[in-house]
Structure 1
Amino acid sequence: MGTDQTTRPATTHFGYREVPAAEKQKLVGEVFSSVAGRYDLMNDLMSLGIHRVWKRYYVATAPVKRGDRVLDLAGGTGDIAALLRDRVGETGEIVLGDINGAMLRTGRDRMTDRGNVRGFEYVQCNAEALPFPDASFDLVTIAFGLRNVTDKDAALAEMRRVLKVGGQARVLEFSEVKAEWFKPVYDFHSFNILPRLGKLFANDAGSYQYLAESIRKHPSQEALKGMMEAAGFDRCSYRNLSGGIVAIHMGYRV
């Protein structure tokens, strides 16, 4: 059911560090276990709160209708799933998938506290080898999670595999800033302000340093579009938000 992992490179990046590929999952897991209880704060610090607007737009423009079944990978604390609730209605289903148990538990608890119980399922899973049959979902989403996946090509192939024909995969991710004048400002915030805020508010500068570095190591808009095409998606495109700070990538299974 999963993707063959025998061709995985021996090493990969963890932020700016080169690490054995087999260790990245554990290292990323430690980061998100550390920040799970402060995940919303983390996103507010990284984006100055604008991530909430990006997520609303991401979901509002998704091709999803009542009764659809949606897989939200790297579902985290349930932000995307909560927004999707009204789109799929009472007859729809949303599966939150996350490789990190602490994040998944935080998401489940927060969703329950909000009264979001019916129509939700929680699955701890690896995006590189999804435990779902082929053609299981009308829409697959992953928001701010793909850059933390060790084998992005395998994850994209799995996202396509579990999509129904006509279904869309949507990736919301930090990307490459386009305005040259803004790049120094963005870098200063990422590498000087963000770790200090992480230390001050979460007592964890290291995790925030990694997250800033992981953004710079993530493929550019055109590179990720090419990766989605290589994974078998059709009609691939992307839309920059906030000058390319983030981008929404889209691809269909036809």
Structure 2
Amino acid sequence: MRVTRYRDGMNTHEPQAKNPERQAAMFSRIARHYDLINDLASLGRDRTWRRTVTDELERACHGLDGREILDVACGTGASSRALANRGAAVTGCDISPGMLDIARREESEDRRGARTPIRYECHDAQRLPFADRRFDAVTISYGLRNMPDPRATLADMRRVCRAGGPIIVLDFDTPNNPVWRAIYERYRAIVLPALGDLFGGNGDAYRYLDVSIDAWAGRNGVAAMLRETGWHDVAYRTLSGSIASICRARA
């Protein structure tokens, strides 16, 4: 049986100067093919990673049935649907109207049985319009590195999470092995812009995604930011040779 090991993270990550309006417009342009982008950038592991996030939250919450979960930067709703299909009452928020249009369409087409419908709302994750301690748990997948101020996002997510509630952060990371890192970075640098040119001439947007992954501080940076914003019991695990990582903590 494989044992999952978490390690404490160190280091810091400086806020990145990014414009929310530009981000919203860019992600709306690429929304139709965003799930395909994640599949290819993750070497086909994206769906497995999302199931892992759902499993982590289910364990941390001692079951998801009826739990109020906030899915920040929910995009096209893949992560929100995975949680709702386990019985959670999910609110998904994103800054991109184009992403949310697809999420709502997918929800109307794919809803399973009588489960609680997902609520999708358009909000800036750095200024969430929810009451303090509103949710049992919070999560964000692939979104934190795109925030103008990731710390502000984590701080507001903590504000709306009940005391002791868990947070799970999924994002791309940097492999430790230098050979594997070089191969993966080269693959990503070629494939993502090529996808942009193939699907609607959005090569610049896809190049941005590649650069944002390359510049991201990864698990060490996320762990440090979680501590700085008041989360505790911070730990992480790497996925698929460290091309991604999951960080977890409690409010």
TM-score bracket, normalised by the shorter chain, equals 0.7 to 0.9
Match of residue 125 from structure 2:
127
| Structure-2 residue corresponding to 1:166 | 164
Match of 2:185 in 1: 187
State the secondary structure of the residue aligned to 1:182.
helix
> Which residue number corresponds to residue 243 of structure 2?
245
Q: For residues 206 and 129 of structure 1, what CA distance do their matches in structure 2 show?
A: 28
Q: Distance in 2 between matches of 1:134 and 1:12?
A: 24
Aligned with residue 147 of structure 1, among 110, 121, 145: 145
SS in 2 for 1:27: helix
- Structure with more of its chain in strand, by fraction: 1
Asked if the contact 1:38/1:202 (under 8 Å) is kept, the reply is no
**Alpha-carbon deviation of 1:209?**
0.5
Where 1:137 maps in the other structure, the secondary structure is coil
Choose which of 36, 43, 56 in structure 1 pairs with 2:38.
43
Distance 1:164 1:12 in 2: 26
Listed as ranges, the matches of 1:75-114 within 5 Å are: 75-87=74-86, 89=87, 92-114=88-110
- Conservation of the 8 A alpha-carbon contact between 1:98 and 1:126: yes
Q: CA deviation at 1:203?
A: 2.8
| Aligned partner of residue 164 in structure 1, secondary structure | coil
Amino acid of the structure 2 residue aligned with 1:98: D
- Aligned positions of 1:214-225 closer than 5 A: 214-225=212-223
Counterpart for residue 30 of structure 1: 25
- SS in structure 2 at match of 1:96: strand
Describe the SS at the equivalent of 1:181.
helix
Q: Secondary structure at the match of 1:147?
A: helix
Identity percentage of aligned residues: 34
Instruction: Give the SS at the match of 2:205.
Output: helix
Q: CA RMSD in A?
A: 1.7
Counterpart of 1:16 in structure 2 is none
Give the distance between the partners of 1:105 and 1:158, measured in 2 at CA.
25
TM-score by length of 2: 0.87
State the distance in 2 between where 1:124 and 1:231 align: 24
Tell me if the contact between 2:111 and 2:117 (Cα under 8 Å) persists in the aligned partners: no
The equivalent residue for 1:73 is 72
CA distance in 2, matches of 1:94, 1:145: 17
Task: Give the alignment partner of residue 196 of structure 2, picking from 170, 179, 198.
Answer: 198
- For 2:15 and 2:156, the matched residues in 1 are separated by 20
Match of 1:57 among 52, 57, 60: 52
> One-letter code of the match for 1:33?
S
- Write out the 4+ residue segments of structure 1 that deviate beyond 6 Å after TM superposition: none
Question: CA separation in 2, counterparts of 1:203 and 1:223?
Answer: 33
Say whether the 8 Å CA contact 2:166–2:249 is kept in structure 1.
yes
- Counting matched residue pairs gives 232
The CA deviation at 1:202 is 4.2
Aligned counterparts of 2:220 and 2:244: Cα–Cα separation in 1: 13
Separation in 2, partners of 1:202, 1:236: 41
5+ residue gaps in structure 2?
Answer: 1-13
Report the Cα offset of residue 229 of structure 1.
0.3
CA change 1:240–1:159 in 2 (3 A) is: same
The SS at the match of 1:238 is strand
TM-score, L = length of structure 1: 0.86
